Structure 1
Amino acid sequence: MPQKPKPLDDTKSARAWWGKELRNWRNARGLSSKRLGAKVHLSGTMIERIEKDERLCGAELAGRLDDALEAGGALRRLWRLVEKEAAGQCADADSSAPVRPQAGSVARDDGLLDGSPPGLAGLEQAAPPTVVRPEDIAQVLAAAATIAEWDNLYGGGGIVRSSLYGQLSWARGLLAAEYPSCLEADLFAAVGRLSIVMGASAFDAYEHEDATRLLRFGRLCAERADDWHLRAAALNWLARQSIWCGTPDDGLTHAENGLVRADRLTPREQAMLHNARARAWARMGRTGEALAAIGRSDEVFGLAQEGEDAVWMSYYDHAQHHGDTGHAAFDLALLSGQSPAVASARLTKAMDGYTDAYVRSRALSGTKLATLIMATGDPEEALTVAHRALDAVGRLRSNRAVEDVMTLSRECGRYADDAEVIALRERIVSAVRL
């Protein structure tokens, strides 16, 4: 039975009043939060958090919401009071001068603000503003969301690579600009989110040095913003990258670090980090610990509720959960001789459950499943799964996907005399060359 929406207190602030009016207009138009979000390219969860004054909203977004709800300018006019109140709060908090980052602050850690980022040398770059506004922060968040969407669709080695660093260059410049203290947490969280998305994309493209620097910088920004959810995301990607690069012990350390204050994380975020633990233990041949971590991940994921996560955690649905735990079970089956049944069942659910927005995830899980079946089961079944996975691989520029299909090709070697297997290996070679 759906829960009754939480009553909103419109007396706390102008922003709270605006959020309540947003909900009132949405209800008056008979729109769910999801349907309204679709009109302005946000998730329903984000709409609900804006209504509850838990997430940033700028003037531009306020105007788009006014248009989407056909409010006739009512929300735009009310937003002026929000801006007036914010200006007064910032003036009270910063009566002397706007904040500037101090020397040696997170803004310059890892050298990410020194010189031109990779791929930008000699190119003219747009200068960031000298004073940060809420709309600038909203732009950074929009860039992060777009990059994540492209990365899931096309992989980290496609058009994403050619556009990333220009956006980070502009966003990182905001950290060296003047900003009122009331915007500091939102600013560092937004830049941290962009850096983490870029780091994950660089990992997929095998630009590991850049990936490590970006993910570490994202973690530092998250900690500066006191955003434990964002910190967990950075540590999850650092863990996954370490495991992929052959240092599962480092990966386990990152995952355990992310769970230090698990009480501050949502069930999905906890499950995400337990998956990284499971994959690290599996790579180290520690079967009991890996199975326990998978079980713990299942347990906490079962407690997840809709609407409690940040919008960027929307990717972690049932398909992703089964895919991540299935990858750990895959390693247990091939490296430690465990039954392949658990891995096969989970990877099958993942491959069937991924939507068209997550092409790379479908490709990775499908390739793992085909490899597992080719190694332990019926090669004819493996061929069917493999060709389906290659349909997704062919749409990507992803070095992780390439490595996985090459592993599949090696497993095909045991059926070197089978004409259909030979044809599959030829298709793999063609897909890798393109």
Structure 2
Amino acid sequence: MPQPMKKLNPGASPQEWFGNELRTRRLAEELSADALGLLVQVSGDMILLIEKGIYPSCRQVVAQRLDNVLGTEGLFDRAWPMVFGTRDAEKKRADADKRTQRTRPGVAQPYTSSILGRDESSPRTGSRESVDRRNFLHLGGLAALAPYELAQAFAPAELPHPNRISPNEIAQIREFATSLSSWDNQFGGGGIVRSVAGRALQWTAGLVQVQCPEHLHHDLFAAVSRLGIVVGASAFDAYAHDDATKAFTFAADCAEEAGDWHLRAKTYSFLARQAVWIGAPDDGLTYAEKGLVRSDRLTPTMQAMLHTARARAFGKMGNVRDTMVAVGQADEAFSRARPTDDPEWMQYYDAAQHAGDTAHALFDLAMLAGQDPRRAAQRFSMAVHGHSDAFKRSRAISRTKLAALLMAAGDPRQAAQVGHDALDEVGRLTSRRAADDLRQLGAFAAKHPKIQDAVALRERIAATVSA
């Protein structure tokens, strides 16, 4: 039975007046706290705490978003300084004191730009603030874009940078990102791929400190974002998760500075997949839903990619209903896909990729919730037969998962045959994700100690992943 809402006293404090106004206008729009939170990019719990007058410091950008969503003509924005401004100023002073103690000379303080105004309102194009912000980005470079830790992680390498950005540097970044993505898909993200990727991002991140003509600003940040995504993906595959998160975060900031919704969506898709992989599916779901903000600006292929990420998060939670709904949404979006509408770097997301990605969500349902494994097996089989040699890692992982399904809930002898085919490919990869999937297959094979085919597969897996 739902709990009655706490009675509010708008005269008790500025915070409770603010909260009462928020609740009154939310209910007038017939919005739940969760629904309003989604629209203004905060949690429903935060909305409820603000309404009760007990949330410590609502950011002003949240007040501005509330005005936009609820049509209050700037009411919450005007009230914000009186209600939260003093607390916010005190917090900023305290934070500034902490930063001063750890800041090194020569490193600019962080600035977060945003398509959606994540941390502050985006100035109108052509405004004085907009011009100053662009100049600051040109002068401040990487440290102006990303947290201080990122500035340390991606400090410019010894390779000299040009004095001024030209189309040549941007073309080099794009071409290298394409080549690196190809190597990562064929050989995995470890070994030499990871070494080259890290050095490339070091040098490329330094380019955002170089003077850039205004007409190249978008292209530069979009190219750097694209490379950041590829480098993050290789680090993710190599289980360098901290580096992967830093690269993805850097890529997201660059995508937002470029105003590129597609790159932004791709970054959140990878953050979602990584979170699911490391056992944080709730975080993965949040990332995927952030990527779907303003999905009308995304192509159907990209919508399918993000709904698939949602499905994988729900699947890892063992949530059957929401997983199946998300898979259905992904399938529906993909049915409308037209490759000519997608950026060139999204061409990899074809029928084989979609089948394999959705199969992962269904695999988790089969393992965690006892669902029919045939749905996942059929999709993994489609992925195996659809992937070309350019995507050996994806093909090998789909083969391994298919073998695991057969070993767990099918014919162990058939599973062993598929497993050996997977091993033939995985043995040539430097992918820790692929190796972990093999370990899972080996664990399933161990449950059939009297079937020689399963025993032989398990022994070969043990020898391969320990090599």
Letter in 1 for 2:220: L
Shift of 1:114: 3.1
Q: 1:106 to 1:183 in 2, by over 3 A?
A: farther
Structure 1: which 4+ aligned runs deviate by more than 2 Å? 97-108, 110-118
Shift of 1:101: 2.2
In structure 2, which of residues 214, 226, 233 is the aligned counterpart of residue 181 of structure 1? 214
User: What residue number does 2:146 align with?
Assistant: 109
Q: 1:113 to 1:256 in 2, by over 3 A?
A: closer
Matches within 5 A, 1:17-28: none
Determine if the alignment matches structure 1 residue 330 to structure 2 residue 367: no
Shift of 1:115: 4.1
Determine if the alignment matches structure 1 residue 261 to structure 2 residue 307: no
Shift of 1:113: 5.8
User: What residue number does 2:163 align with?
Assistant: 130
User: What residue number does 2:238 align with?
Assistant: 205
In structure 2, which of residues 402, 413, 436 is the aligned counterpart of residue 380 of structure 1? 413
Shift of 1:105: 6.7
User: What residue number does 2:96 align with?
Assistant: none
Shift of 1:280: 0.4
Cα deviations by residue, 1:345-381 (Å, 9 ceiling, x for unpaired) = 0010001110000011011111111001100001111
- Looking at structure 1, the residues matched to 153 and 277 of structure 2 have their Cα atoms a distance apart, in angstroms, of 28
- Looking at structure 1, the residues matched to 165 and 442 of structure 2 have their Cα atoms a distance apart, in angstroms, of 51
Matches within 5 A, 1:150-229: 150-229=183-262
- Is contact 2:164–2:211 with CA below 8 Å preserved after alignment? yes
Determine if the alignment matches structure 1 residue 370 to structure 2 residue 407: no
- Looking at structure 2, the residues matched to 116 and 336 of structure 1 have their Cα atoms a distance apart, in angstroms, of 41
Letter in 1 for 2:432: N
Shift of 1:395: 1.4
- Is contact 1:279–1:327 with CA below 8 Å preserved after alignment? yes
Shift of 1:253: 0.2
Letter in 2 for 1:207: A
Letter in 1 for 2:309: A
Cα deviations by residue, 1:298-327 (Å, 9 ceiling, x for unpaired) = 001000113111111011000000000011
In structure 1, which of residues 142, 164, 170 is the aligned counterpart of residue 175 of structure 2? 142
Cα deviations by residue, 1:281-308 (Å, 9 ceiling, x for unpaired) = 1111211000000001000100011311
Secondary structure class of the residue paired with 1:101: helix
User: What residue number does 1:51 align with?
Assistant: none
Secondary structure class of the residue paired with 1:422: helix
In structure 2, which of residues 375, 378, 394 is the aligned counterpart of residue 342 of structure 1? 375
Q: 1:409 to 1:300 in 2, by over 3 A?
A: same
Secondary structure class of the residue paired with 2:177: helix
- Is contact 2:143–2:151 with CA below 8 Å preserved after alignment? no
Cα deviations by residue, 1:75-99 (Å, 9 ceiling, x for unpaired) = xxxxxxxxxxxxxxxxxxx9xx988
- Looking at structure 1, the residues matched to 144 and 176 of structure 2 have their Cα atoms a distance apart, in angstroms, of 19
Secondary structure class of the residue paired with 1:114: helix
- Is contact 2:139–2:211 with CA below 8 Å preserved after alignment? no
Letter in 1 for 2:151: D
In structure 2, which of residues 430, 445, 459 is the aligned counterpart of residue 426 of structure 1? 459
Q: 1:370 to 1:336 in 2, by over 3 A?
A: same
Larger Rg over CA atoms? 2
Shift of 1:167: 1.2
- Is contact 2:142–2:205 with CA below 8 Å preserved after alignment? no
- Is contact 1:232–1:269 with CA below 8 Å preserved after alignment? yes
Shift of 1:100: 5.4
User: What residue number does 2:126 align with?
Assistant: none
Shift of 1:433: 2.5
Shift of 1:110: 3.0
- Looking at structure 2, the residues matched to 170 and 162 of structure 1 have their Cα atoms a distance apart, in angstroms, of 13
User: What residue number does 1:283 align with?
Assistant: 316
Structure 2 portions without partners, runs of 5+: 1-130
Shift of 1:106: 6.5
Identity of aligned residues (%): 49
- Is contact 1:99–1:181 with CA below 8 Å preserved after alignment? no
- Is contact 2:142–2:208 with CA below 8 Å preserved after alignment? no
Letter in 2 for 1:200: A
- Looking at structure 1, the residues matched to 445 and 341 of structure 2 have their Cα atoms a distance apart, in angstroms, of 44
User: What residue number does 2:14 align with?
Assistant: none
In structure 2, which of residues 355, 371, 392 is the aligned counterpart of residue 359 of structure 1? 392
Secondary structure class of the residue paired with 1:125: coil
- Looking at structure 1, the residues matched to 354 and 458 of structure 2 have their Cα atoms a distance apart, in angstroms, of 30
In structure 1, which of residues 240, 243, 249 is the aligned counterpart of residue 282 of structure 2? 249
Shift of 1:159: 1.3
- Is contact 1:252–1:277 with CA below 8 Å preserved after alignment? yes
Letter in 2 for 1:114: A
- Is contact 1:100–1:178 with CA below 8 Å preserved after alignment? no
Shift of 1:150: 0.4
Shift of 1:162: 1.6
Letter in 2 for 1:109: A
Q: 1:355 to 1:104 in 2, by over 3 A?
A: closer
Shift of 1:223: 0.5
Q: 1:130 to 1:99 in 2, by over 3 A?
A: farther
Cα deviations by residue, 1:196-228 (Å, 9 ceiling, x for unpaired) = 100011000000000001001101100100000
Q: 1:241 to 1:313 in 2, by over 3 A?
A: same
In structure 2, which of residues 345, 349, 358 is the aligned counterpart of residue 312 of structure 1? 345
Structure 1 portions without partners, runs of 5+: 1-93
User: What residue number does 1:302 align with?
Assistant: 335
Cα deviations by residue, 1:141-160 (Å, 9 ceiling, x for unpaired) = 11111110000011011210
Letter in 2 for 1:328: A
Query: How many residue pairs are counted as aligned between the two chains?
Result: 335
Higher relative contact order (CA 8 A, sep 6+): 1
Q: 1:305 to 1:313 in 2, by over 3 A?
A: same
Secondary structure class of the residue paired with 1:135: helix
